[in-house]
Structure 1
Amino acid sequence: MLFIVDFDGTISKSDTIDALLEKFADDRWQQYEQSWLAGEIDAVTCMSNQLALVEADHIALESFFRTIELDRSFCQFHSFARQFARVVIASDGLDHAIKVSMQHSAFPELPVFANRLNFEPKGIRMTFPNRQPDCAGGNGNCKCAIATAQRAYPGEKVVLIGDGKSDACLAKRADVVFAKGSLVKHCEKNQIPFIPFSTFDDVVAVLQDWPECQISTTLTHQTA
């Protein structure tokens, strides 16, 4: 089983990029946000234009990344899930922000697939190493491509845990979707089955009733 877990608003308690822009950019970033939400521009164009507005030095940015508040229940989820599955983080946010915040909070070190943060003399720039030209969501980080590449074998069960627009495309393809935030509305509108959640404690409560999880965890305890 493969868990694809979003970061901003899912592992983190709020959207990291929005918080970054509110602190270090002028209000023009909101205009780009509205254009993206309306489908007038894609995510890559939106984020590139937004981050060009950031004015802060390396020290201030690193300090900010360490203040990102995370959902502590993710650690319990990971301890449970790793007994029978692999867990990767897939985000259309910033790789460095994810790694710094998780390390600072003593969270487990996991594979992270996200857009690359590049420091400039007075700000930051984003590049997109995981971008796919045919990404249906127009994202900088194509989660559908990541799920395909990370599957250990054809047909491996893919479970998406997410909250927003960057998760919408994979929601159509994943075997199971845990959703909150705007992803709930997307799933309802497009008749995509989903399991609602607020924290990772909710996810664990559901997983504990899955037969494949019970069998795997029992075998793990027997061989420990």
Structure 2
Amino acid sequence: MNTFSSIANHLFNPSYTQHQTPIVLCDFDGTISVKDVTDTLLSHFGQDGCDELEELWVNGKIGSQECMSKQIALMDASLDELNHALSQIKIDPTFKSFIDYTEKNHIPVHIVSDGLDYAIQFILKRHGMEHLPIFANKLMHDNNRSWRLEFPYANKNCIKQSGNCKCNHVKKQQHFNQILYVGDGTSDYCVSHNVDFVFAKDKLINYCEKNQIEHCAINGFADVTKALKQAQHALIPVMMIK
């Protein structure tokens, strides 16, 4: 019987008192990273059955937690092979400048992802940002070639049946005067209804428009930084920036 252990560092779970600044919650795959990390790893290392699971998820027959759990269990890769694939993944070139701005202005940023904690940490470390708080599914390895997932942020009442219930994370941030969200796709739909303002890319733009959600369409984090600067200089909430 294989023994699995986490290969990610201890995740930072900060404790805050009441803050006058906003907090920014960021999706990772397709938002910070240029490509979806999990899809990339599955394309490299996924065995037979991954595509069928993806189809079941797309058709709404299983939730993302069940889909990802079974897909990751079908991966065949050593840690070195996984790391090599992760080292090829690019991120938004303006994300580092965004983090520099938020840290200078004491605006907390949390990575809230339905992806893989180790993959996110590995990629951010390559860019000198491994200190950012990460809330994601826990990737487990048996020190050979087998993998599985654990879901420390799952919620049995999650509408989307996600591995990481982003809406549940939002509920824990009510001590901030504004909760801002940056995302791009399906895993960001539900949480977009529960924050003060959304910076939306790709599919999330159409979803926000269709559902009349306060948002700003962006191409990348340079647009988010610009909006935060405008709001700060005008001393008005970010939701007033269009």
TM-score (norm 1): 0.88
User: In structure 2, what residue type is equivalent to 1:8?
Assistant: D
**Equivalent in the alignment of 1:95:** 117
Q: Give how far 1:122 is off.
A: 1.6
**Equivalent in the alignment of 1:190:** 211
Q: Deviations over 1:184-216 (max 9, x none)?
A: 222223222221111101111222221xx2278
Structure 2, unpaired ranges of 5+: 1-21, 236-242
Q: Give how far 1:101 is off.
A: 0.8
What is the aligned counterpart of 1:47 among 68, 73, 83? 68
**Equivalent in the alignment of 1:34:** 55
Distance 1:182 1:49 in 2: 25
Distance 1:164 1:36 in 2: 14
Distance 1:189 1:40 in 2: 24
Q: Deviations over 1:25-82 (max 9, x none)?
A: 1363222222212211101111012112211112211222222211121111112123
User: In structure 2, what residue type is equivalent to 1:117?
Assistant: L
Q: What SS does structure 2 have at the residue aligned with 1:139? A: coil
Q: Deviations over 1:140-179 (max 9, x none)?
A: 111111122234x2x6210000011111111001100011
- Which protein is richer in helix relative to its size? 1
RMSD: 1.7
Structure 1, unpaired ranges of 5+: 217-224
Contact 1:75–1:108 (8 Å) recurs in 2: no
Distance 1:209 1:195 in 2: 13
**Equivalent in the alignment of 1:85:** 107
1:135 paired to 2:158: yes
What is the aligned counterpart of 2:233 among 208, 214, 219? 214
Q: Number of aligned pairs?
A: 212
Over 6 Å off, 4+ runs? none
TM-score (norm 2): 0.82
Distance 2:127 2:42 in 1: 22
Q: Give how far 1:112 is off.
A: 0.3
Contact 1:58–1:123 (8 Å) recurs in 2: no
Tell me the percent identity: 36
User: In structure 2, what residue type is equivalent to 1:148?
Assistant: K
**Equivalent in the alignment of 1:10:** 31
Distance 1:156 1:39 in 2: 35
